Structure 1
Amino acid sequence: MDARNEDLLDIAVIGPSRFPIREPYAGGLEVVVAKEVRALRARGHRVTLYAAAGSEGHDRRHEFTTLAAATGRGDSYYPPGGYEADAAEFERLMDHVAVSGFDVVLNHSLSHVPLVRAAEMATPMITTLHCPQLAPMQEAFDRLGSATGRVLAVSHSVLGSWRVPHGAEVLPNGVDLQIWRPRAAAAGRTAARSAARSAFRPAAGTAAAGTAAAARPVAGRTSRVGLRPTDRPRAVWTGRIVPEKGPHLAVEAARRTGLRLDLAGRVGDDRYMERVLAPRLRDAGDSVRYHGPLGRDALVPLVASAAVALVTPCWEEPFGLTAVEALACGTPVVALARGGIREILSGQPGVVLVEPGRDPSSALAAGIPAALTLNRAATARAAAAAFSHDARIDQLEARLRGLLVGAAS
């Protein structure tokens, strides 16, 4: 700790080892780590980031390199010997961290090694759980308990999949409201969009403003007589192109309702792209555009100018950061009520939650008409109040200082 200012801390942040912390971000975990490092540095803390090769603002002397080429086969894939090699890199990093005199370690990795090594270190550590249970990490919790350090989780849904013998707290993710915010161009298109909205009729049973219910499928394509293709509302989907994120459901829902659709994200599973998503993109023709991974300068305007954002988890979604980002822009969200999505977005203005049921794309399609009627300004205001990243950092700093006071007593 800086003896001249006890409020400023010397912090080590351990990021994930698979993808670099840089734009365009590989996924939500990389976004969360980048925001946290940036915010803590802006508040005057000395922050050292340990991350994958190719990251920005990290310590290049101790970067992760093992998984750099393990792409395209799912984001949990390890090549033969890959997990062991990755663990060896974490061991070398923890050798360094243990003797570097940090005040605290913030661990966002998906490796068991920091948990095991925390038991040997004088430096306190906080681990944040970003995903459902991983067996090697769970084994460390079971074996070492409180010696693994303090534990946070991004949602109760995530925490419910783990056993943390000494307990854990939930600290939800936040959104940088200086970046994710309404855009003037999007507001200017509201009046032009109203005529298009009138061609869509809310389906009975649709859940609006955050109430989850089983929405009834639209019978056939909704009437849109007199609308030119460019007048049709445009939906947006962002995220990792992997089976568990389900972008193919967004394509199907958009086609059912006659919306145009923009897709943006990194392909994390080549087989899924080739066998599931790509055929649907070809069938959709010009009505669906796939942009690939986008940096914030292109991604934020794309989301902020959309009529609706579709969120399509096919697993128990840990949090649903893309949904919150859309809401902060004032863009209404239609989402499948799974995992953290149900927890975080229930009751949130600007959200239509639908039960997936046996036909999730029909459920999404049935929810879209209601979303098109929601107030964008109210949506943005409510999201800013609920998901401020500054407020999250305030809470994190309080926990850091409380941890250090406890360690000193």
Structure 2
Amino acid sequence: MDIRSEDRLDIAVIGPSRFPIREPYAGGLEVVVAKEVRALRGRGHRVSLFAAAGSEGHDRRFEFTTMAAATGFGDSFYPPGGYEADAAEFDRLMDHLAGSTFDVILNHSLSHVPLVRAADMPASVITTLHCPPLGAMQEAFDRLGSATGQVLAVSRSVLSAWQIPHGAEVLPNGVDISIWSPRPAPTGPHRAVWMGRIVPEKGPHLAVEAARRAGLQLDIAGRVGDRDYMNRVLAPRLRAAGEAVRFHGPLGRDALVPLVAGASVALVTPCWEEPFGLTSVEALACGTPVVVLARGGTREILSGQPGVVLVKPGPDPASALAAGIPAALTMDRTATARAAAAAFSHDARIDSLEARLRGLPVGAAL
């Protein structure tokens, strides 16, 4: 029997363990989880969030503390013994979920434990892939196959990088257009904006150089996720740029949205195969044209999208970005925002997710 359309579901959402789900959000993954939880609760579902210590609206009895308390290890590294301690906390959570009455478990973590324990659960487990392959997770897929549960990916680009023996589907991210929406057109000298995690793979140093070559001032907003990269690569460029570049650090939406909506152009500078490119979509929803390096998910989701200048990375990406800026400055901001709202609606994403949940076998609670 399937879950009936009129039923409100008991849903467990497993978030990432490294950073809390709260503003200012640490990165796109935390944003996606927060939006999903908020939207599902808004539709009447009973949603329990299991996330890092310091999150908002989560179950504190099973919060993840190992990485939330760690400092100085950046976005990609664990302190000594950290991975094992982190996995133990996930095992403790899965022990709880194994005895629960949830109808479905939505797993957004970067841990292999929910995959390994999926077959123990009384409810269906749906894991969403947000990033390139992680060794322990891929090993779980290789070893256990369909016993790991259902799998979604945020883009075809991400999915193609993994090997999922039992198959997976793509469910793209969306943007909350009630938050990311146009503001009055910017006035005064053209300014560019860059937002995201301050890490090598996001490449904010390329935005500094591209803005310099194009003669634009630049705002940068984001959390420092790699202190070494910040000190060695980005900070010297910020000092050299002087007042032409303003570094804001991490910003909550109340400050970030006006900054992005008030910019003449957004620069998106991935130095890896970007899994999705949520910052691109958020800027477009504000009507702010985007000049973006076409890598991974950005190439996939933004091809043909109004308000976008896709740039081939090439040997000199900063020059290529700078060369794309003049065209972006002439683009229709109203049409850009309208097209983004139509193509990347978060409501449409939740509609699609709910349709998947309705087709699942009834969980223990029903």
TM-score normalised by the shorter chain: which range applies? over 0.9
Displacement after TM superposition at 1:403 (Å): 1.7
Return closer, same or farther for 1:4/1:136 CA change in 2, 3 Å cut-off.
closer
Listed one character per residue, the Cα deviations across residues 367-397 of structure 1 (whole Å, up to 9, x for unaligned) are 0000001000000000000000000000000
Task: Please point out which of 261, 283, 286 is paired with 1:326.
Answer: 283
Residue 256, structure 1, aligned to residue 213, structure 2: yes
**Is the 1:72–1:268 contact (alpha carbons within 8 Å) kept by the matching residues of 2?**
no
Amino acid in structure 1 at the alignment position of 2:107: N
Displacement after TM superposition at 1:120 (Å): 1.6
Amino acid in structure 1 at the alignment position of 2:318: S
Listed one character per residue, the Cα deviations across residues 181-233 of structure 1 (whole Å, up to 9, x for unaligned) are 001x3x2x4xx5xxxxxxxxxxxxxxxxxxxxxxxxxxxxxxxxxxxxxx430
Distance of 2:23 and 2:41 partners within structure 1? 18
Return closer, same or farther for 1:346/1:365 CA change in 2, 3 Å cut-off.
same
**Is the 2:291–2:328 contact (alpha carbons within 8 Å) kept by the matching residues of 1?**
yes
Distance of 1:364 and 1:70 partners within structure 2? 36
1:206 paired residue number: none
Aligned partner of residue 41 in structure 2, secondary structure:
helix
1:61 paired residue number: 61
1:247 paired residue number: 204
Displacement after TM superposition at 1:405 (Å): 5.9
Displacement after TM superposition at 1:6 (Å): 4.5
Residue 160, structure 1, aligned to residue 155, structure 2: no
Displacement after TM superposition at 1:73 (Å): 3.5
Tell me the number of residue pairs that the alignment of Structure 1 and Structure 2 aligns: 364
Listed one character per residue, the Cα deviations across residues 267-320 of structure 1 (whole Å, up to 9, x for unaligned) are 001110011000000000001000000000000000001000000000000000
2:121 paired residue number: 121
Displacement after TM superposition at 1:100 (Å): 1.3
Displacement after TM superposition at 1:407 (Å): 10
Q: Which structure 1 segments of 5+ residues have no match?
A: 193-230
Return closer, same or farther for 1:367/1:407 CA change in 2, 3 Å cut-off.
farther
Distance of 2:115 and 2:73 partners within structure 1? 27
Listed one character per residue, the Cα deviations across residues 2-41 of structure 1 (whole Å, up to 9, x for unaligned) are x998520000000000000000000000000000000000
Distance of 1:45 and 1:406 partners within structure 2? 14
Aligned partner of residue 174 in structure 1, secondary structure:
coil
Listed one character per residue, the Cα deviations across residues 61-89 of structure 1 (whole Å, up to 9, x for unaligned) are 11000012334443110111110000000
**Is the 1:73–1:271 contact (alpha carbons within 8 Å) kept by the matching residues of 2?**
no
Residue 384, structure 1, aligned to residue 341, structure 2: yes
Question: Larger C-alpha radius of gyration, 1 or 2?
Answer: 1
Superposition CA RMSD, Å: 1.7
Distance of 1:349 and 1:71 partners within structure 2? 41
Displacement after TM superposition at 1:260 (Å): 0.5
Aligned counterparts, 1:135-284, within 5 A? 135-183=135-183, 185=184, 187=185, 189=186, 192=187, 231-284=188-241
1:130 paired residue number: 130
Displacement after TM superposition at 1:106 (Å): 0.2
Residue 347, structure 1, aligned to residue 304, structure 2: yes
Aligned partner of residue 403 in structure 1, secondary structure:
coil
Q: Which structure 2 segments of 5+ residues have no match?
A: none
Distance of 1:76 and 1:98 partners within structure 2? 29
1:225 paired residue number: none
TM-score by length of structure 2 reads 0.97
Aligned partner of residue 68 in structure 2, secondary structure:
coil
Aligned partner of residue 291 in structure 1, secondary structure:
strand
**Is the 1:124–1:407 contact (alpha carbons within 8 Å) kept by the matching residues of 2?**
no
Aligned counterparts, 1:289-300, within 5 A? 289-300=246-257
Amino acid in structure 1 at the alignment position of 2:123: T
Aligned partner of residue 61 in structure 2, secondary structure:
helix
Task: Please point out which of 284, 307, 316 is paired with 2:273.
Answer: 316
Aligned partner of residue 13 in structure 1, secondary structure:
strand
1:88 paired residue number: 88
Distance of 2:295 and 2:5 partners within structure 1? 45
Distance of 1:257 and 1:387 partners within structure 2? 29
Residue 14, structure 1, aligned to residue 14, structure 2: yes
